[in-house]
Structure 1
Amino acid sequence: MKRSLPLILTGILFCYTAFAQTAPPTDIGTIQQNLKKLNVLGSVLYIAAHPDDENTRLLAYLAQEKHYRTGYLSLTRGDGGQNLIGTEQGELLGLTRTQELLAARRIDGAEQFFSRVNDFGFSKTPEETLKFWDKDKVLGDMVWVIRQFRPDVMICRFPTTGEGGHGNHTASAILAQEAFSAAADPKKYPEQLKYVQVWQAKRLLWNTFNFGNTNTTSPDQFKINVGGYNSLLGKGYGEIAAESRSSHKTQGFGSAKQRGDAFEYFKTILGDAPKTDLMDGVTTTWARVPKGEALTAEINAISKNFSSDAPQASVPALVALLNKVDLTIGTDKALQTVRLTATAAADYEYWHKQKTKELKDLIAACAGLWFEAYAKEPSYALGEKIEIVAQIYTPNTLPVSALEINPGNGILRKVTTPHGLILESNKLTSYTFVDKEAPVADKITQPYWMESPHGIGAYKINDDLKVGNPENPDAPKVTYTFTIAGKEISYDRKLVYKYTDPARGEVYQPLVIAPPVTADIQNKVYIYNNIQTQTVQVKLKSFTNTSGSISLKPVEGWKISPAKIDFTGKKKGDEWSVAFSVTPANGKTNTAVLEAVVSANGQTSSLGLQQIRYQHIPTITLFPPAQAKLVNLDIKTEGKRIGYIAGAGDLVPEALQQVGYEVHVLSENEVLNTDLSGYDAIVTGVRAYNVNERLSYEQPKLLEYVKNGGVLVVQYNNNNGLVTQQLGPYPFRVVNERVTNEDAPVTIFDATNPVLNYPNKITADDFKGWVQERSVYMVNNIDPLYKAPLQMNDPGQSAQNGSLIVADYGKGRYVYTSLVFFRELPAGVPGAYRLFINLLSKPKK
């Protein structure tokens, strides 16, 4: 009997496996869990708006206790959230939170999906949310995921009635209700039916909650005790949930492990209400599949005979079962033996696909079969050959009669012997593909949702078939095909880069395919307040041996010199910088986009290089546009030296340096033990009083600095978790109130206040062009000794004055502001610069 082992490099959907390794877990507990799952044919899809909205305890229970196929559809990637561990904002934060979600799913056992919509920040109403989101597009994305995933039960985290607090939350529930029905309607999104079939879930439930002061549960609601213990995993679902939720590190959601009974409550929104079980009315056994009942006995026999001391002994029976699954529900002939509606036939195919994959993974796990492929280098340029190492290992002797390896370009390496090929027990077999055998890097590894510029509310997806995927579905992978007990079985593995770190040990990272040369303009924003020339540094990196040139595109109203800079003889990995002079053509207010263009190896590109590195997630590499913003504005500055106390992470220090300030990040020792009078102003970073517990000890010294004539500007803090309640010299209270509309009208309530007049005159025009929002975590109960010069409100709400308060204290000035300068300054918003400079500048008497 012929046995073959071909290896092919192509593109597929990402699998949901731990990034610390390329192969799924093969421990005995996981094998036994997956044996139990073989007998379960049911699925549940959980739906909410953001990363960290999901109920991780419920997901863990459904996936690992009930063994349902369980998914979480997060409509956004969390782009508008906060970041407690770094400076990434917007889409960069969304990339980070995507990986945090994938890490959470690897722990709780669910799968992860997304729509194309962007988290543009906090909104108060679903109407505001849907004003930014293209409702038809996001609904279509949800229908697409539902038709692919085919959930028996859908669950939303939030209600349609607003108790979720966030407009995005409420919108996710409204859309879930519409998607529940639309997915079953062939007239809705008919273009999808080329690839999927309509699907009607049995019911849509709302997972009611008791958060803070909001309790939406009631004794008459259907409930499930999800607080059980899984002896195979050695953990309860409250413990698994805490580990999963603690993956959301950017949001500061580290959670304590919980043990014991824990009830989840549900309210039926659409479909039949469950009475005794979440899956009431749904067949979740092999009886779901015509002629499938006989498979239950086969699986039970395999489970009963399974030996944890010799899992490989179950391989023949698992292969035989795989053959029977194919014959029962996996062939056209099998379909012809039963009369099915189109929907039932699609369900037939769906469960064949799911159970075949589960069986294949079990066969490899029981055989102890390990295999992976990795690139010899961390990155390659477009057009380069990728040198690949493919490895195979088994602790048990595995005979095969032939070996075929195809790296994807049609060239085969074959090994054939008269007596068969033996993969020896406990021996690692390696194959390397170089030169003409190696595949060519033909597409950069840019996240698919960031391939094109996008608006505020949604990413532009060039290929709708990719929607739903958490990562690129066409990323490089390697397919291994074994013939085991006469059955040809194929497996996919990501093509990654592997290296050894002295502190962390063996580390896997995504393979990077890049443009030949990337160009990064040093600053994202260049602020001019006169016609003086600024030097624009551009950092280049070569991903291959190359020569070429770099230039800045001409911009109307600006002078750029030189026109072009050539480079020659650059080697792979070289990094160097070039400098251009950029000058406003005149003193008129002007905003423009500066773009770098690289010509190298016959290719032209305008892409930079950005990497996000945290140890809790894989390194994220992307190639943003090689652009910067030029802003020529009428601005006056006062003072020179700024002390900065770091908070949760922001880019305000860099923004201040752009307008000529010297910014020094102060340590605790410097605050407590040095003379602060040399600083014209001291600024605390966003949420500093939430994340820096030492500020409670530094606060008296900071207030003393103000009293002696200094200026202290405190940026916003969350009302929960303050390290001290005495944020200022006089009382006020931080509350969870916001103005989320970035175009909300601003009333200058105290036009004579110095912060609105010196050194820049602030008018209503300075609040034009703001991004994402106005103000977060405002203040109330404000002591009369503070002045509140601004009022603002979202449409339909009363005016609030808690976005900016100012007080004279001793000889100095104290400022607390919840205005979102941390978003506006990096975005180059002129009015935000003018106002922030005023906050730093106390007129000399």
Structure 2
Amino acid sequence: MRYILSILITISFVSFSNAQVKEPVPASKILHQMQKLKNTTRVLYLAAHPDDENTRFIAYVENGKKFDAAYLSLTRGDGGQNVIGPELREGLGLIRTQELLAAREIDGGKQFFTRANDFGYSKNPDETFNKWGKDEVLSDVVWTIRNFQPDIIVTRFNKTPGITHGHHTASAILAHEAFNMSGDKNAFPEQLELTNTWQPKKIYWNTSSWFFRRNEDFDKSQYITENAGGFSPLLGISYTEMAALSRSRHKSQAFGTAGSRGDEIEYFEYWEGPENEKDLFAGVDHSWNNFKNGKAIQKAIEQLIRNFKLSNPEASIDQLFVVKNLIEKLDDSAIKKDKLKAIEQLILKCSGFYHLLYHDNPYASPGDEISIDLELVNRSNADIQLISTKILPTNEELSVSGDLDNNQVKLESFSVNIPNDFPYSNPYWLNDPSANGLYKVDNQKLIGKAENQAAIKAEVTLNINGNNLSFQTPLKYKSSDRINGEIIQPFYIIPPLSIEFAEEVSIFTTKNQEKEISIKIKALKDNVSGVLELKLPSAWTAETPQNDLTFENLVRNSTKDFKIKIKSGDKEGKFDLNAFVKIDGKSIDKSVQEIQYDHIPNQIIIRNAQQQLVLADVKIKGEKIGYIEGAGDAVDEALLAMGYQVDFIDIENISVDELKKYDAIIAGIRAYNVNASLQIHYGKMNEYMNSGGVYMVQYNTTYSLPDTDFWPYPLNLSRDRITVEEASLEFINPDHLSLNYPNEITSKDFEGWVQERGLYFPDNWNSNYVPILAGNDPGESTKRGALLIADYGKGKFVYTGLSFFRELPAGVPGAYRLLANLLANKSTP
């Protein structure tokens, strides 16, 4: 796989990534956050995917109304496409999770998820619930409501099937059912051992003209409205400008948005609750009046705000402790927990308090002893003493204490032993194999959380002006770069090495075939030695002697490459090849994937070191394939595994004569959407086909596609798709060469497909195209545009929306066989 390894520091009005230095907090923002303490109203926004949320509304609720807002995304977006890199599936889900967290850093909301997996496009909620398991995801929504305790729930979508994505409709159905169940002690009673029932007051649908076929069908007069277009003098930004910055964090979906100013009316349809007034927040007491000692709390907060001095924030510390002490006397609730956390942060901000726990490497392994540093700086005249510091989760007490005088750096270094059984820092929802529609998470307390807690933290206890305050600071990786300056990233616990197969899948085309596979050992610490061992499927053998698989004293980030000869068995199918290394008696069988982009913190995924072996009768014709990059896929790797030579083509600078050396050329997914050079120089491909070449174009979308006829004969792209991967496909032209040469394609070749059959099929085309396949999702009309082939001069043109980019990495044998046929030239054998 190819991964982007760049780090770029970007400063905006607010910090949005842990890759940056700590965000400066001006006094005006401290005052803004103090004003939020007055309000107890909470709003939960609910939809299906990352980027479904209305960032205008969340920014307005958090910063205009100064209420607490949260977004519950049912999925992590792992079934979508990625326009910034090659990561799909779990990797893309991790990127989109972090993009949501970066968005919430800007607009101020909280972020939650369910266990639901984004299994791809779904046309109706019934299909969605069949994949997810309705009760399981409904349980997660109820759990989130009970723990966040919102007064109002707002959905992005309505409950009418057929208007939009099935996941979208399902999210609205689940929201409404959970609204009525979260306060019922008989609904998911097992949760009540860990939380309490909670009944929100009202639920609304946040609608817009987008949901109506014609703009004139959108009758604004029947809806409740809120103007989300205000401006915050304290923050120096409008809520719509803030929303654009927030939405622009969704870079993997190409959702960059220009800021806007002025009024922005949001519309809401009332669904249920005790009040149906012409005010979204009617019937909700925003103050502390309904809490024990509520009047005293309200009065103390008002005094805090009234006496705050922009030029001297530290003068408010004592009053913050007054408010804190009053709130601590309340019964446990989400409001109590979150307000105490906000006050803790305000006390530290008012004192200009800086804290950073850091290590000089980004990761360590179980059993390591590491040296870490703790930097503390009191940047005020507040009387602050360091009372104690404890490492979590080992509870190791550190012998550091003393006065923290104004602007005097206290820097302490100490060693920490990481226990041998310390867990790896893998995203918690990826620890166990998951079903198609639902991630497996056994720990109920983890459900809903956006990400793991930091692997290692320090609990610091201070005495500030005579009052104790404890807070946690996570262990980070700190480095300095001559271009970007100080860089702060997450710190991870990972294996001492990573075992990396060169390809996800190895294709064997005959029984007892011998083939060389490549495995790389990457050391993730110094002095790594061992022997690589393989666990092969039955009847498969490794021909490479074991003594050729040793490695010694690898230093951090160095690698050792192995070429291993594997002989296939005699039974066709898909099999697993597992690799492991024994170090100090412990078996290491993991691969570590690093994901690095400039707009999110660095991420890792730890998987089993495994390659899929596929034995299938795949014949190929031709040798050299040219590949024109699109939005990112792994089809090129599959071609290499099939035995082709693959070169990436710079379409702008390559000549037609140079193109002619390739037996076939493939355009990656959405190539015409994202590859500006191909949009200009597409005519070269017509000349290439005319001289006898085979050109295959994978799916493009109508969105952002220039209004140009790129194809050799006219065809019209649509949003037609077949989302049920088991849907039967009819062979329209069973005698067509593409279904018979060099492989005879049968219905068996469409077994075992994942996520979908295909997407964005053409729905109208010139008579020169021959449609090959027809199919449909249940209850829908037949789609005939999944695979179109046309002769062009001496060559041929193939346009297909079949999801090869998903099927090939999944090791689907039939996808390899069909692809080989499409790349064969049009001459008969």
Which TM-score band applies after superposition, normalised by the shorter structure?
Answer: over 0.9
Q: Is the 8 A contact 1:656 1:663 kept in 2?
A: yes
Work out the CA distance in 2 between the residues paired with 1:29 and 1:750.
70
Does residue 424 of the first structure (1) align with residue 408 of the second (2)? no
Q: Which residue is equivalent to 1:536?
A: 517
> Are 1:787 and 2:786 matched, yes or no?
no
1:270-314 CA-partner distances (Å, limit 9, x unpaired): 213442432211111021213311332332222222221111122
Tell me if structure 2 keeps the 8 A contact 1:222–1:267.
Answer: yes
User: Does residue 670 of structure 1 match 2:669?
Assistant: no
Structure 2 distance, partners of 1:425, 1:668, is 61
Matched-pair contact (CA < 8 Å) for 1:319–1:484 = no
Aligned to 2:429: 449
**Structure 2 counterpart of 1:66, one-letter code:** K
Q: 1:193 maps to which residue?
A: 192
For residues 579-618 of structure 1, what are the structure 2 equivalents within 5 Å? 579-586=563-570, 588-618=571-601
1:18–1:830 distance in 2 versus 1, CA, 3 Å: closer
**Counterpart amino acid of residue 606 in structure 2:** F
Check conservation: 1:50, 1:77, Cα contact below 8 A.
yes
2:377 corresponding residue in structure 1: 393
**Aligned: 1:548 with 2:530:** yes
Q: For 1:402 and 1:88, how far apart are their aligned partners in 2?
A: 45
Q: 1:164 to 1:430 in 2, by over 3 A?
A: farther
C-alpha distance in 1 between matches for 2:421 and 2:101: 26
Name which of 681, 696, 718 aligns with 1:698.
Answer: 681
- 1:433 matched to 2:432: no
Q: Which residue of 2 aligns with 1:171?
A: 170
Which residue in the other structure is 1:280 paired with? 282
Partner of 1:506: 486
- On the 8 A contact 1:44/1:69 being kept in 2, the answer is yes
**After superposition, what is the alpha-carbon deviation per residue over 1:330-368, rounded to whole angstroms, capped at 9, x for unaligned?**
3xxxxxxxxxxxxxx55xx43332222222211111111
**Where does residue 119 of structure 2 map in the other structure?**
120
- CA positional deviation for 1:385: 2.2
Corresponding residue number in structure 2 for 1:3: none
Equivalence for 1:234: 236
How far 1:206 moved relative to its partner?
0.7
Cα shift at 1:713: 0.7
- Structure 2 CA distance for partners of 1:444 and 1:526, relative to 1, 3 Å: same
Query: Displacement, 1:540?
Result: 1.5
Output the CA distance in 2 between the equivalents of 1:318 and 1:633.
69
Aligned-pair CA distance for 1:405: 3.0
Select which of 456, 459, 467 maps to 1:479.
459
Distance change >3 Å, CA 539–CA 272, structure 1 → 2: same
- Is it true that 1:685 corresponds to 2:665 in the alignment? no
Aligned-partner Cα distance in 2 for 1:241–1:687: 28
Please give the residue correspondences for 1:292-691 in structure 2 after superposition, counting only pairs within 5 Å.
292-326=294-328, 329-330=329-330, 345=331, 349-400=333-384, 403-408=387-392, 409=394, 412-414=397-399, 421-434=402-415, 442-473=422-453, 475-530=455-510, 531-544=512-525, 545-562=527-544, 564=546, 565-586=549-570, 588-671=571-654, 675-691=658-674
Q: 8 Å contact 2:479–2:488 — kept in the other structure?
A: yes
Closer, same or farther: CA 571–679 of 1 in aligned 2, 3 Å = closer
* Partner deviation per Cα, 1:306-335 (whole Å, 9 max, x = no partner): 221111122222223323333xx33xxxxx
Instruction: Note the aligned Cα RMSD (angstroms).
Output: 2.1
What letter matches 1:184 in structure 2?
A: G
Report the 3-state secondary structure (helix = DSSP H, G, I; strand = E; otherwise coil) of the residue aligned with 1:610. strand
One-letter amino acid of the structure 2 residue matched with residue 355 of structure 1: K
- The answer as to 2:703 corresponding to 1:720 is yes
Count of equivalent residues: 806
Alignment partner of 1:498: what SS? Answer: strand
The one-letter code of the counterpart of 1:557 is: A
In structure 1, what is the Cα distance between the partners aligned to 2:185 and 2:23? Answer: 37
Tell me by how many angstroms 1:36 deviates.
0.8
Cα distance change on mapping 1:441 and 1:512 into 2, 3 Å: farther
Matched AA of 2:25 = T
Shift of 1:772: 0.6
Counterparts of 1:439 and 1:828, CA distance in 2: 38
Partner letter of residue 802 of structure 2? L
1: distance between equivalents of 2:313 and 2:453?
33
**Aligned counterpart, 1:800:** 783
1:35-94 residue CA offsets vs partner (Å, 9 max, x unmatched) = 110101110001111001100000000011111111000010001001111111111110
C-alpha offsets along residues 573-613 of structure 1, whole Å, 9 cap, x if unaligned? Answer: 44212332211133x42321101122112211321111111
SS of residue matched to 1:758: coil
1:68-217 equivalences under 5 Å are 68-162=67-161, 164-211=163-210, 214=213
CA–CA distance in 2 between the matches of 1:410 and 1:108? 35
Residues 824 and 662 from structure 1, CA distance in 2 versus in 1: closer, same or farther, beyond 3 angstroms?
same
Equivalents in 2 of 1:457, 1:488: separation in Å?
A: 47
The CA distance in 2 between the partners of 1:209 and 1:505, in whole Å, is: 45
* Partner Cα distance (2:712, 2:211) in 1: 30
CA–CA separation in structure 2 for the residues paired with 1:102 and 1:56: 12
For 2:66 and 2:17, how far apart are their aligned partners in 1? 19
Alignment check: 8 A CA contact 1:518 1:598 kept: no
Instruction: Say whether the 8 Å CA contact 1:786–1:805 is kept in structure 2.
Output: yes
Which TM-score applies when normalising by structure 2?
A: 0.94
Q: Deviations over 1:222-257 (max 9, x none)?
A: 111111111112111111111111111111111121
TM-score normalised by length of structure 1: 0.92
Whether the aligned pair in 1 keeps the contact of 2:795 and 2:826 (CA below 8 Å) is no
Name the CA distance, whole Å, in 1 between partners of 2:487 and 2:501.
Answer: 30
**Are the counterparts in 2 of residues 533 and 581 from structure 1 also a CA contact under 8 Å?**
yes
C-alpha distance 454-549 of structure 1, shift in aligned 2 (>3 A): same
Identify which range, 464-473 or 290-299, moves more after superposition. Answer: 290-299
1:722 partner SS = coil
Of all paired residues, the percent bearing the same amino acid is 40
| Aligned counterparts of 1:274 and 1:389: Cα–Cα separation in 2 | 56
User: Equivalent residue of 2:700, what SS?
Assistant: coil
Deviation at 1:192, TM superposition (A): 1.2
Change (3 A) 1:610 1:413: closer
* 3-state secondary structure, aligned to 2:98: helix
Gapped regions of structure 1 (runs ≥ 5)? 1-15, 331-344
Return the letter of the residue paired with 2:390. N
Distance 1:572 1:732 in 2: 53
Q: Distance in 2 between matches of 1:275 and 1:626?
A: 58
Q: Which amino acid aligns with 2:243?
A: A
Q: Is the 8 A contact 2:382 2:465 kept in 1?
A: no
Task: Output the CA distance in 2 between the equivalents of 1:761 and 1:150.
Answer: 59
Quote the Cα distance in structure 1 between the aligned partners of 2:26 and 2:191. 39
Cα distance change of structure 1 residues 243 and 804 upon mapping to structure 2, 3 Å threshold: same
How far apart, CA to CA, are the structure 2 residues paired with 1:175 and 1:317?
43
